[in-house]
Each structure stands twice: as C-alpha cells, then as structure tokens.
Amino acid sequence: MKGTEIIKNGLLKENPTFVQLLGMCPTLAVTTSLKNGLGMGLSATAVLIASNVIISLLRKLIPDKIRIAAYIVIIATAVTLIQMALNAYLPDLAESLGIFIPLIVVNCIILARAESFASKNPVGKSALDGLGMGLGFTGALCIISVIREFFGAGTIWGIELYGNVIKPASIVILAPGGFIVLGLIIGAINAIVGKVGEKK
C-alpha cells in the first residue's frame, strides 16, 4: 500500500467515525463547537501518530501475551504528554475539553489502530496511518460540530451568524442533539454510498 493510499484509507474509505463507528464518546461530547471539535481531533491525531510510531518501533520487542497492556501504557503516556502541553500552551482549550483529554486514552480508535495496523507494519507506514486516521477523525468531528454549532448556537467558530434574527435551537448542542445529528449524518452517508445498514 502506498503512502497516499494509507492516508486516503483513513480519511474516507475506513473513516473511523462514520464508517468504523469508533470513538463515539468524544465524538458526541465535544462537538458542541467547531473550536472544541477541531481541538479534540488534533489532540487525538497527535496521540495516534505518537502511539502508532512507538508501538511500531517496539512491535518485535513486546511479548504477544501482554501486548494490550503494553499498548495502553504507551497510549496513556502519549496522552499525558499532550495533556501537559495543552495545559501549558492552550489553557482555554484544555478547560473546555476538560476530562475528555485524559479520556483519549480509552478512545477505541487508538487501540484499534495499534492492534490492527501499528503492530504489523513498519514505522513510516504506521505514522502515515496514524495521520490518516487522525485526520479522518478530525474531519468527522469538524463536520458534526459545524452542523451542531450552526443550528444550536447560531455561530461558526464563535462568529455570530443569524442569532439576532432567529433564535437558534439550543437542543442541537445539548445531549439529545448530539445523538440525533450523528444518527442523521450516518444514515445520510449510508443512503448516499448505498451501503445498507445491518438488518435489525
């Protein structure tokens, strides 16, 4: 697989949020504004690249039986570093993402990539895979948060758009809006791509 293909794979074909349906908690919780969505996406991307690179480097040293525990420790270390960096350089973002920064540790996307890609592929490819998947996650978060911020707060990136004329529907940025907007987006993608949802 070529580099561009690996990135395209993460961005579109196997998009972690819309296709693989992984990492739903941050997807729903932080997409109340584009700033938060982008911040969470990029933080997760940084963790994903770091953990993929380290795990790929150590893939021949980590014994098979304790690999999951080893991966979790590596991921948690990367998350702790990002958390410190955010607290130091972007305290506003760190405050609004709050507990969801340490919770990147338990974002299934990162563990899934470690297990299914980084543990089997060389460093360069793993880094690209981390970048692709991370950007796919970031892109998905941005799409959801633009929709939610536009309808729920009447703003995009904090810029007032129509709030003076029509009152925005604040339920869209509250908890129910998160579930419903994501459900509608995935349903719409299924309809466009022609992928039929599981018969249930």
Partner 1 sequence: MIKEIISILIAALLTENFVMVKFYGICPFLGVSKKVETAVGMGMAVTFVMAIASMFTWLVNHFLLERFGLEYLQTIAFILIIAGLVQFVEMFVKKSLPALYNALGIYLPLITTNCAVLGVTLLNVQNGYGFIMSFLYGTFAALGFTLAIVLMAGIREFLDENSVVRSFRGFPIALITAGLMAVAFMGFSGFSI
- For residue 8, the minimal CB distance to partner 1 (Å) is 23
Give Dmax over CA atoms of the chain in angstroms.
62
- For residue 49, the minimal CB distance to partner 1 (Å) is 19
Site of interaction with partner 1 (CB under 8 A) = 21-22, 24-25, 28-29, 68-69, 72-73, 76-77, 79-80, 83-84, 99, 102-103, 105-108, 111, 171, 174-180, 182-184, 186-188, 190-191, 195-200
Distances (CA, A) of 119 to 54, 99, 112, 114, 115: 10, 29, 10, 6, 6
Task: Report the DSSP pairing between strands 159-160 and 155-156.
Answer: antiparallel
Nearest to partner 1 of 1, 84 (CB atom):
84
Nearest to partner 1 of 1, 184 (CB atom):
184
Nearest to partner 1 of 122, 183 (CB atom):
183
- For residue 2, the minimal CB distance to partner 1 (Å) is 31
- For residue 171, the minimal CB distance to partner 1 (Å) is 8
Q: What tokens does 173 get?
A: 């940025």
- CA 113/CA 128 separation, integer angstroms: 11
Q: Give residue 27's identity as a one-letter amino acid code.
A: T
Q: What tokens does 50 get?
A: 């770091």
